[in-house]
Amino acid sequence: MKERLDRFMARANATYYATHNPYADFTTAPEISQGFGEVLGLWAAIVWQAMGRPDPVILAEAGPGRGTLMADALRAVGRVAPEFAAALRLHLVESSPELRALQAVRLPQATWHDRVDALPPGPMILLANEFLDALPIRQFVRHGRGWSERYVAESRLVEAPVPAAEQALPGLEAPEGAVVEVCEEARAVARQLAARFAAPSGGAALFVDYGPAARAPGDSLQALREGQFADPLADPGEADLTAHVDFAALAEAAHAAGAQALGPVAQGVFLARLGLPQRMEKLAAGQSPAQAAALLAGVRRLTEPHAMGRLFKALALCAPGLPVLPGFAAESDDHAR
Ligand code: SAH
C-alpha cells in the first residue's frame, strides 16, 4: 500500500493538530512578540480605509493557532481605529477542534469555518501566519525528460511514474534527480481569494510564511517535534509537517484569477516598514530592564536576516484597484527579498 505524499501529509497533520499542543513543538512570530499581531492589526485598519471603509467588513484569519495574533491585532485596532473595530466581523478558519477551543477563550466573538472557501461573501481582510506551510505538498522527481512522483510506503519514499496528463504540473526546469514541490491546496486558496478580490470592494489577504522568493527545485518537507527536526515519514501525526511556501506560484495563481499580488517582501523589511522596531522601543521604555530586553530581543528575532527576517516573507493578494498596501513598495521589491 502506498499513499501519495500530499495525502500522507494531510492525514498526518490533521491527526497532529487534533491531538497535540503544537506550541510544545515549535514557536511562531505572534508568540515571540506581541508587536507582530499589533502591526498586522494596524495594517488591516489601513487596508480597510483604502477599501473605502466598508461596514460591515469581514476580518478573517486562517490557521489562528492559539489566537495570539488576532488578540494582539484587535487590542491595537481598538485603541487606534475604533471605527474599524466597530465595523469588523471576526471569522476564523481552523480545522482542529482542539485549537478552536483554545481560540474561543481569547476570541469568543468569532465564527469558525473549516476552509477558506467557506468564509461568507462580502468585503474581507484576511491575515495568515504560518498557515500555508502546513498545507500538503506533492513532490515530483526529474528523470530523463519526464517526472515521477513520490509516495509513502511503510515510512519510506517510493516513486511512481506520473501520467502524461500530469507531466506539466511541476512546471519548472530541474536537473536529473531533482525534486520539485507543488502545493495544490495553497494554489486553490490563492485562486479562491483572488476571485473574491477581483471585485472592486473585494479586499485583501496577507500571508506571512517561509520559503524562497523565486521558485527553485528542492525538497523542503520537514518535521518538528519538541523543537527538534524529526523524520517526516516516521510516526505520522506525532510531528508538525511543513514545507516551504512557493510565493511565486501563489502570485501567479492570483494574477490569473484577476487579482493583484504584492511582494513577497522579507519579513524583516516588512515589519520595519510597518514600524515594529519603533513601536516596541517605545513600549520597552516604560518597562523594567529585563522586560525591555525581552521585548527588544523578540523584535530582533523577527527582523534580523539570520534569524526569521529573511527566510520568512510577506505576500499580499488584493483587489486590483487598491493602492500599494503598507509594507509593500510600488516598484519591484527585489532588493527587499
Ligand atoms: N498562525 C498561528 C498558528 C500556526 S500553526 C501562529 O502563528 O502561531 C498552523 C495553524 O493552521 C494551526 O492553527 C492549524 O490547526 C491550522 N491548520 C493547518 N492546516 C489547516 C487546514 N488544512 N485547514 C485549516 N486550518 C489548518
In 154-283, which ranges are E strands?
Answer: 156-161, 179-182, 203-210, 222-225, 228-230, 240-242, 260-266
Residue-level pLDDT at 279? 96
Residue 266, strand partner residues: 313
- pLDDT at residue 25 in the model: 82
Cα 129 to Cα 4, 134, 194, 206, distances in angstroms: 26, 11, 18, 8
Q: Distance, CA 64 to ligand 1 centroid (Å)?
A: 6
Asked if 133 contacts 243 with a C-beta cutoff of 8 angstroms, the reply is yes
Pairing of strands 228-230, 146-153: unpaired
Q: Give the pLDDT confidence score for residue 321 in this predicted structure.
A: 87
pLDDT band at 227 (very low <50, low <70, confident <90, very high): confident
Q: State the pLDDT confidence band at 205, using cuts at 50, 70 and 90.
A: very high
**Protein residue whose Cα sits closest to atom 3 of ligand 1:** 65
Q: Which ligand 1 atom sits nearest the alpha carbon of residue 133?
A: 9
Give percent of the chain with pLDDT exceeding 70.
97
pLDDT, residue 332, reads: 58
Give the pLDDT score at 63. 97
112 Cα to the center of ligand 1, angstroms? 13
Q: How confident is the model at residue 330 (pLDDT cuts 50, 70, 90)?
A: low
Does 150 have pLDDT greater than 90?
yes
**The CATH number of 22-134+186-318 is which of 2.40.50.140, 3.40.50.12710, 3.40.50.20, 3.40.50.300?**
3.40.50.12710
Q: What separation in angstroms does the CA of 86 have from each of 54, 55, 180, 182, 236?
A: 11, 8, 45, 40, 43
**Furthest-apart CA pair in the chain: how many Å?**
64
Whole-prediction pTM: 0.96
Q: Write out residues with Cβ below 6 Å of ligand 1.
A: 13, 17, 22, 28, 30-31, 63-65, 69, 93-96, 99, 129-131, 134-135
Cα of 95 vs centre of ligand 1, distance in Å, is: 8
| Confidence (pLDDT) at 199 | 78
- pLDDT number for residue 331: 59
Alpha carbons 248 and 23: distance in angstroms, whole number:
29
- Listed residue (29, 31, 26, 15) closest to 96, CA to CA: 15
pLDDT exceeds 60 at position 253: yes
pLDDT score for 22? 86
Rounded percentage of the chain residues whose pLDDT exceeds 90: 91
Hey, what amino acid is at 49?
Q
